[in-house]
Amino acid sequence: MPTRGHFRDLGKGLPKRDRTRLALIDSAVDVIGAKGMELAKISDITEHAELANGTFYNHFADKDEILQEAAYQVATEMTREIDEEMQSVESAVARIVIATTQAIRLSVEGGTWGAVIVGALQHLPSVRRDLLQFLRADLQKGLEQGVFDIELDEFFLDQVAGLISVGMRTQIEMGADPDKTARTCENVLRLCGLTRTKAQKAVLTNTPS
């Protein structure tokens, strides 16, 4: 579960340059959580980190670079935790339900992390493409298992990502709601070709406790 100062804490024991870089990333996550990706400014990030603007440019070329790095760092941490739950799960349907449920949970519990992921999906095309590769792998597995009836292209991936992003954003803004998470999972599965009855059963059966 994400905690405030997570990336700064990862820097303990590392050389000063590495600690400073992680402190800036941590601050970027907090600022994105407070202001959103579009409104976040370099001066906001450095002020939050209690560092000079000049220090920022020793580590990042511009705002886009630190936003991308923050998004990749958050995505890596979230993916690691989700993957731990799915190591022995072979069913593509179950993997979609578990991954979607846990991604939303992690985003809501650590609202700043969720804001970073939602912002990346909306504003950082290169990060979005990389994030969607995890989703693509499970959708491809569903095709190979004969349980999904889809055309697996970038447009379809964007549609699924849109559903999950809305599930994250709504609960970040309004609070955790298991029913909305379940509906998000159901809608993703229906987009993949499952009937409403089968999608509802799959969500009920595979939602992590």
Give the model's pLDDT for residue 80: 87
Give the model's pLDDT for residue 137: 93
- pTM equals 0.87
Neighbour tally for 115: CB within 10 Å: 26
Taking only the tens place, the pLDDT of each residue in 105-115 is 988 887 788 88
Show the CA angle centred on residue 111, arms to residues 137 and 83, nearest 5°.
Answer: 30
Over 90: is that where the pLDDT of 199 sits?
Answer: yes
Give the model's pLDDT for residue 124: 87
Over 60: is that where the pLDDT of 204 sits?
Answer: yes
Q: Where residue 112 sits, what CATH number does that domain have?
A: 1.10.357.10
Over 60: is that where the pLDDT of 2 sits?
Answer: no
The token pair at 135 is 């989703």
Q: What is the DSSP letter of 4?
A: T
Together in a domain, 128 and 199: yes
Show the CA angle centred on residue 68, arms to residues 65 and 71, nearest 5°.
Answer: 150
Whether 134 maps to a domain, the answer reads yes
- Give yes or no for a contact between 73 and 30, defined as CB atoms under 8 angstroms apart: no
Mean pLDDT for 72-86 is 87
Whether 1 maps to a domain, the answer reads no
Query: Which SS3 state, helix, strand or coil, does residue 89 take?
Result: coil
The number of distinct structural domains making up the chain is 2
Whether 119 maps to a domain, the answer reads yes
Q: Which domain holds residue 27?
A: 6-65
Together in a domain, 43 and 126: no
- Average pLDDT, whole number, for the chain? 91
- Determine the Cα–Cα distance for residues 127 and 151; give it in Å rounded to an integer: 22
Taking only the tens place, the pLDDT of each residue in 149-191 is 999 999 999 999 999 999 999 999 899 999 999 999 999 999 9
Together in a domain, 16 and 85: no
Taking only the tens place, the pLDDT of each residue in 6-33 is 888 777 888 999 999 999 999 999 999 8
Last residue of a domain, one of 48, 65, 82: 65
Q: Where residue 27 sits, what CATH number does that domain have?
A: 1.10.10.60
Q: What is the DSSP letter of 208?
A: -
Together in a domain, 18 and 97: no
Together in a domain, 130 and 187: yes
Give the model's pLDDT for residue 10: 77
